[in-house]
Amino acid sequence: MSQSIDIVVPDLGDFADVEVIEILVAPGDTVERETGLITLETDKAAMDVPSPEHGVIVEISVAVGDRVSSGDVIGKLSIEVSDTVVITPMLLHEATGDTTVLASPARAEGEVQKSGGVQTLVVPDLGDFENVEVIEVHIAKGDELNVEDPLVTLETDKAAMDVPAIVGGRIESVLVKVGDKVSQGSSLAIIKARSGPAVTPASKVAEKVTAPPVPTPAPAVSAASATAGPASPVRTAATLPPINEAGFSRAHASPSVRKLARELGVDLVRVNGTGHKNRILHDDVKAFVKAILTGQAGGVAAALPKTPLVDFAKFGEIELVPLTRIQKISGPRLQASWLNIPHVTQHDLADITELETKRQQLKGAARERGISLTPLAFVLKACVAALQEFPKVNASLADDGKNLVFKKYCHLGFAADTEQGLMVPVIRDADKKSVYQLAQELAQLSQAARDGKLKSDQLQGATFTVSSLGGIGGTAFTPIVNAPEVAILGVSRSSMQPAWNGTEFVPRLMLPLSLSYDHRVVDGAAAVRFTTFLGQVLADVDGLLKGSEK
């Protein structure tokens, strides 16, 4: 059965009467939760109004040029609510380390739950809690679930709980994401349930459960068991350290993660959590086991000692400022890259005297055509030539660690400085573009990054990245490789330096280059050949401009 719901403008903070600048959908369109429906623009930013649920657009009641505020209805959405299944939290982990099985919600005498057809799974009664944060989503569209498989993990300021499936079937749509706030009755997912007997309600009385015993040692742990999920209890003293029961109970992990850790014999104290507030996720446990068995660097990273906790307030006045969304995303990725990739940085100097002279001659005419002809455009064009000469630098290491993935395309990422932090837009098919075209796309993508209007596909697929700090300063730096790429070029400020021409010293404009690379793929000799070749290309400005518009 379908039901029509209002689409409402969410809280816009201090903004009111915000202009609608774009309509992104039409009646009849099928949309997923969080799909952008309309775009609003203030004097500071543009933002999309997302779909509240998975469904079909019935109508959009606003037009381009209209003005809306928080709470305004902008259309109607048809959603499927044929069979609503109330699901019960499976386990609650208190701050003390106790594990509790929660009671099922009370049901009318003789009431049963349907187990076939399309059903909407919703949040059950959470007691006094509302707006509880989703800290982990365990499912994705297309997943096949069994009864009691965890759907999401919720966390209040006092406890964490897993919400399990009480019907088996295939997930048609996931309606929440990490960071969402949910309350009783909020939709979590749509499932096409397998036909079968009704689920028997659990006991209505909460029952204290003691921790299960440590699994009996088994001959070995296979790598397959570490990636395939829970299996029969396995552990060996030769591969996995003994479980620290006191620390295990204090580890920041959901009940289902604890269950998986016990089945695999993993001491959660030794696992680094990558989830919200450093929560340990299922993938963290599996990665830890796999790393130990294969001797990969992740095993070392998981055992790294923590930095000391310091109460800064006891030394003076402080202010806590939340990280930006970009910093929250990029920080863990940069740390993972630094820990897992053996970095080496090759420093070099490129003579760009003739290049800069030519650029100064051309930039006025280029500006009249709306093109800002920056030095970075020439550097990107030179990088294309160098990557074609050294295709290994344009490659990636395959997941199996035994093969290289050579790419027949050249998509260049470049670091763009924004108020929210560094972003890396991607110029696709840079090898097919002239210096002028690269300069124009650089300007367009940089502006989109500053305005917060970059689309997801404009941030993906780079084969090589350039980070230019020349406009700010610096003589050299060691950029971190943007995995799964195998190299990144850092560009610092150019300066006039004396160069010996065989008879005398002459002033030359020299550009510092810093190439960081993955030493598993690129060795030192290849790296210095790359930067040397890059310098030669930058010195040949006529070659760089060949084929460009005049």
Q: What is the CATH number of domain 84-207?
A: 2.40.50.100
Report residue 116 as tokens. Answer: 């076939």
Assign 261 a pLDDT band (cuts: 50, 70, 90): confident
pLDDT tens per residue, range 409-423:
999 999 998 888 889
CB atoms within 10 A of CB 98: 14
DSSP assignment of 125-192 equals --TT--SEEEEEE---TT-EE-TT-EEEEEE-SSEEEEEE-SS-EEEEEE---TT-EE-TT-EEEEEE
CB atoms within 10 A of CB 538: 25
The domain limits of the chain are 2-80, 84-207, 211-302, 329-545
Assign 89 a pLDDT band (cuts: 50, 70, 90): very low
Rounded Cα distance between 111 and 182, Å, is 26
The identity of residue 81, as a single letter, is: V
At residue 248, the pLDDT reads 61
CB atoms within 10 A of CB 12: 18
- Catalytic site residue 519? yes
pLDDT tens per residue, range 5-36:
889 888 777 778 888 988 989 999 988 877 88
The identity of residue 442, as a single letter, is: L
For residues 199-221, give the mean pLDDT: 34
Assign 4 a pLDDT band (cuts: 50, 70, 90): confident
State pTM to two decimals: 0.50
At residue 374, the pLDDT reads 94
Q: Who wins on pLDDT, 13 or 544?
A: 544
Assign 343 a pLDDT band (cuts: 50, 70, 90): very high
Assign 224 a pLDDT band (cuts: 50, 70, 90): very low
User: Do the domains spanning 2-80 and 329-545 agree at the CATH topology level?
Assistant: no
At residue 33, the pLDDT reads 78
Specify whether the CB–CB gap between 37 and 31 falls below 8 A. yes
Specify whether the CB–CB gap between 452 and 420 falls below 8 A. yes
pLDDT at 233 over 90: no
Specify whether the CB–CB gap between 491 and 510 falls below 8 A. no
For residues 138-162, give the mean pLDDT: 82
Q: What is the CATH number of domain 211-302?
A: 4.10.320.10
Assign 209 a pLDDT band (cuts: 50, 70, 90): very low
Q: Who wins on pLDDT, 363 or 304?
A: 363
pLDDT tens per residue, range 49-88:
888 888 899 999 999 999 998 888 999 998 876 544 444 4
For residues 177-181, give the mean pLDDT: 88
Radius of gyration of the chain from its Cα atoms, rounded to whole angstroms: 28
CATH superfamily of 329-545: Chloramphenicol acetyltransferase-like domain (3.30.559.10)
Among 30-34, 104-108, 449-453, name the most confident range: 449-453
Domain 2-80 classification at class level: mainly beta
Rounded Cα distance between 344 and 534, Å, is 18
User: Which is the catalytic residue, given 54, 282, 411, 519?
Assistant: 519
pLDDT at 459 over 80: yes
